[in-house]
Amino acid sequence: MEILALIPARSGSKSVPDKNVRTVAGKPMLAHSIEQALACEPISRCVVSTDSEHYAAVAREYGAEVPFLRPEELSGDLSTDLETFAHALAWLKDHEGYEPEVCVHLRPTYPTREVSDICAMIEILLNDSELDSVRSIVPSPETPYKMWRREEDGIITPAAEPDIHEAFNMPRQMLPQFFLQNACIDVLRARVITEQGSMTGRRIHGYIMETCEDVDTPADMASARKAARGTLGSEPKTFVFDIDGCIATITKDLDYTLAEPIHSTIRHINTLYEAGHHIVLFTARGSLSGIDWQSVTADQMKKWGVKHHELRLGKPAADYYIDDKMLALEDLDGFVG
* C-alpha torsion sign, points 233, 236, 240, 243: positive
Residues 112 and 191 in one domain: yes
Task: Single out the residue in 229, 246, 268 at which a domain terminates.
Answer: 229
Residues 93 and 210 in one domain: yes
Question: The domain that contains 102 carries what CATH number?
Answer: 3.90.550.10
Task: Single out the residue in 185, 210, 229 at which a domain terminates.
Answer: 229
pLDDT band at 334 (very low <50, low <70, confident <90, very high): low
Least confident among 47-51, 94-98, 142-146, 232-236: 232-236
Give tens-digit pLDDT for 111-138.
Answer: 888 999 999 999 999 999 999 999 999 9
Residues 124 and 213 in one domain: yes
pLDDT band at 203 (very low <50, low <70, confident <90, very high): very high
Q: Domain of residue 154: give its range.
A: 145-173
Task: Single out the residue in 229, 264, 294 at which a domain terminates.
Answer: 229
Residues 209 and 191 in one domain: yes
Residues 136 and 152 in one domain: no
Q: Please give the torsion angle defined by the CA atoms of residues 59, 64, 65 and 66, in that order, rounded to the nearest 10 degrees.
A: -20
| Distance between first and last Cα of the chain | 45
Domains in the chain: how many in total? 3
CA-based nearest residue to 102, from 201, 192, 9, 8? 192
* C-alpha torsion sign, points 151, 143, 111, 38: negative
Question: The domain that contains 299 carries what CATH number?
Answer: 3.40.50.1000
Residues 277 and 210 in one domain: no
Residues 33 and 105 in one domain: yes
Residues 77 and 89 in one domain: yes
Spatial distance between the Cα atoms of 167 and 145, rounded to a whole number of angstroms: 6
pLDDT band at 233 (very low <50, low <70, confident <90, very high): very low
Q: Enumerate residues 6+ apart whose C-beta is below 8 A from 202.
A: 132, 196
Give tens-digit pLDDT for 9-54.
Answer: 988 776 677 888 887 777 888 999 999 999 999 999 999 999 999 9
Q: Enumerate residues 6+ apart whose C-beta is below 8 A from 90.
A: none
Residues 100 and 195 in one domain: yes
Residues 133 and 249 in one domain: no
pLDDT for 241 beyond 70: yes
- Provide mean pLDDT across the span 161-180: 74
Residues 39 and 106 in one domain: yes
**pLDDT score recorded for residue 232:** 41
pLDDT band at 166 (very low <50, low <70, confident <90, very high): confident
What is the average pLDDT value for the chain, to the nearest integer?
86
Between 58 and 271, where is the model more confident?
Answer: 58
Residues 196 and 163 in one domain: no
pLDDT for 315 beyond 80: no
DSSP state of 164: S
CA angle 48, 49, 52 (to 5 degrees): 105
